[in-house]
Amino acid sequence: MAGDDDLSRRSFLGATSAALLAAASGCGADDEPARDDGRYAPVPVEPGRAAVGVVGAPDPTDVDHAVRRAIALAGGLGAIGPGQTVFIKPNAVHGVTTGLPGIVTSHAVLAAVIRAVRSRRPAHIVVGDRSWRQSDSVSVFQLSGLEETALDAGADEVYPAPRPSEDPSAWLLVQPPEWEETWSAEGGVLVMKRIVEADHFIDLPVCKNHRWAAFSLAMKNLIGAIGDDSRDPLHFNEGDPDRLSRDIAILNGAFTPTLCILDALTAMVSGGPEGVLADRVVTNPGLLAASRDRVALDAFGAAVLRRELKSAAVPTPDPMFDILNDTPSWLLPQITHAISLGLGISGAELVELRFEGVPGAEALETLFRAT
């Protein structure tokens, strides 16, 4: 059997096998886009404003519909055209996930997003991530089942990104605004080449708290898009979430997602991001949310976490419990730093929340707009 090092150097393009898998699942490259009755027509978003489409998906069999409706309410995928390349980045932090929902992007949501993207008839869909530094990305995609799910749903390639030390050519050194704050010694931030060279990038995070950064949503998910060497300078253990939040905002300046889709079928409200320690608490919001604006989506995701915290039993709160529970979304450090860097919309008054089938939508809206 090949070792992890050998596997990490394998090509996961597998064009022939991926085509066969896609054909077997009825979503081959030559298929006509799925017909519908207009339910998935994009809802326009006014210039200078943002929209967050939020759809309830309490029934696992309705995930495809919920994902496509959330995308439509957020403005749709009209920017994606035939012949283009789309990179989809789930949260694939580690592979110890059997029976532990909320740690990585759920299989149902990943598959639904791939099928929605395929309806735009791109030439190539890549699903990839670089897992946490203690893990080999190849093993993570295999152990978590994300590789099999992605190929079965019609992805053309699964890309478990190598460590920069294994393949330096897979990474680019870039200098987003204010990079010197943290990466001056490195000369910039190493970013995944496949993402920045794709025509479109879809960010597909889960909804969870983070014991150092308060929350891990669309912006925090992009730590998986930078190389191991660029993660080392991040300020994780300073006891000050503002420093790590600033770093997260800065590195986000290297990426421009076409769309961000939040998997909030489950929510980890304590014990994130790894989700395997005794302080782990998971709830079930049953929501899918999408937006072209990562700041708006993260502010909404933070509101979901705050709502869940108000009713969840948390016997052993992690270090960020009080900050996440007591701070309005738009005052959380990741949000304020992102706004200062111009990464997204500047406030709740410029965001339209478009709910569909969401119990308690009014309470969520109140939490989202609180100051």
Q: Are 335 and 286 in contact (CB under 8 A)?
A: no
Provide the pLDDT for residue 133.
77
Token pair 């309490």 is found at 58
pLDDT, the chain, mean: 88
Provide the pLDDT for residue 277.
83
Surface-to-core class of residue 332, CB atoms within 10 Å of its CB (0-12 exposed, 13-18 middle, 19+ buried): buried
Provide the pLDDT for residue 278.
84
Provide the pLDDT for residue 157.
98
What is the C-alpha separation between 161 and 222, in angstroms, rounded?
13
Tokens at residue 364, please? 């969520």
* Phi and psi, residue 77, nearest 5°: -110, 30
Helices 361-369 and 294-311 pack at an angle, to 10 degrees, of 120
Token pair 């791939």 is found at 114
**Which is nearest to 104 in space by CA: 112, 89, 94, 113?**
94
Provide the pLDDT for residue 37.
63
pTM for the whole structure: 0.89
Provide the pLDDT for residue 24.
32
Is the dihedral angle over the CA atoms 58, 21, 102, 189 positive or is it negative? negative
Q: Which residues of the chain have pLDDT under 70?
A: 1-37, 97-99, 237-239
From residue 280, alpha-carbon distances to 56, 103, 209, 307 in Å are: 24, 10, 10, 17
From residue 128, alpha-carbon distances to 110, 151, 212 in Å are: 11, 12, 25
Contact partners, residue 168, CB within 8 Å, separation at least 6: none
What is the C-alpha separation between 70 and 72, in angstroms, rounded?
5
**Which is nearest to 115 in space by CA: 179, 67, 161, 54?**
67
* Phi and psi, residue 90, nearest 5°: -75, 175
Reply yes or no on domain 49-369 having CATH 3.40.50.2300. Answer: no
**Which is nearest to 12 in space by CA: 169, 129, 160?**
160
Hey, how many other C-beta atoms are within 10 angstroms of the C-beta on 302? 26
Domain layout of the chain by residue ranges = 49-369
Provide the pLDDT for residue 279.
86
Provide the pLDDT for residue 215.
94
Provide the pLDDT for residue 62.
87
What is the C-alpha separation between 271 and 281, in angstroms, rounded?
6
Peptide bond into 328 cis (omega under 30): no
Provide the pLDDT for residue 179.
97
What is the C-alpha separation between 324 and 328, in angstroms, rounded?
8
Provide the pLDDT for residue 7.
29
